[in-house]
Amino acid sequence: MKNIFTIAVFLLTSISTFSQIELVETSKTEVISQVSYVYLEKKGESDYNFFYKNMNSVSHEYVSFSFKNIDNDVDKLYQILSNGFKEVPRDPLKMKANGEIVWLKYTYDSLDSSVTLTVEQYVSTDPEIKTVSRPLTSEDVNKLFNK
């Protein structure tokens, strides 16, 4: 009888401590702003995600890069993006965000004297697959950062 009782207690204890499903507490997310298929999301106190729809994919899934707003990095990102419209760099700008490499490609259209920005990333699992955002204007960037 003692053996059965001991085995029953052991089984009940092992089931409750090694359960396969448990809830994990997550940080609250809030969409700060959105422009068409691009949006900026705040997660928790200082984490931000920059989402854009991948125009190179048939399914147009959302792709993102994240960063922490440690030294006013949200404003730094806005400055980097908006300065590109003024300077129009010939080659894409390479930016590192939380370990991810993000390319900022500015294109000048001589027909209507406009500049557009596309955000590009290579998928880490397959470096030959590139994700590309829809073209953004300077007004889109201002709206995205509430400026």
Question: What string of pLDDT tens digits covers the 147 residues of the chain?
Answer: 666 666 666 655 555 555 678 878 777 888 888 898 999 999 888 899 999 999 988 887 898 999 998 889 999 999 999 999 998 899 999 998 888 889 999 999 888 889 999 999 987 766 778 899 999 999 999 999 988
Residue 107 lies in a domain: yes
Where is 79: in which H helix or E strand? helix 73-87
The per-residue pLDDT for 13 is 59
The per-residue pLDDT for 110 is 85
DSSP E strand boundaries for 15-85: 29-35, 38-43, 47-53, 62-68
Residue 92 lies in a domain: yes
User: Torsion over CA of 41, 42, 47 and 51, rounded to 10 degrees?
Assistant: 0
Residue 15 lies in a domain: no
Write the burial class of residue 63 (CB in 10 Å: 0-12 exposed, 13-18 middle, 19+ buried). Answer: buried
Residue 20 lies in a domain: no
DSSP E strand boundaries for the chain: 29-35, 38-43, 47-53, 62-68, 93-97, 100-109, 114-123, 126-132
Residue 95: CATH number of its domain:
3.30.2450
Q: What is the number of structural domains in the chain?
A: 1
Residue 81 lies in a domain: yes
| 7: three-class secondary structure by DSSP | helix
Residue 86 lies in a domain: yes
* Domain housing 45: 27-144
Residue 3 lies in a domain: no
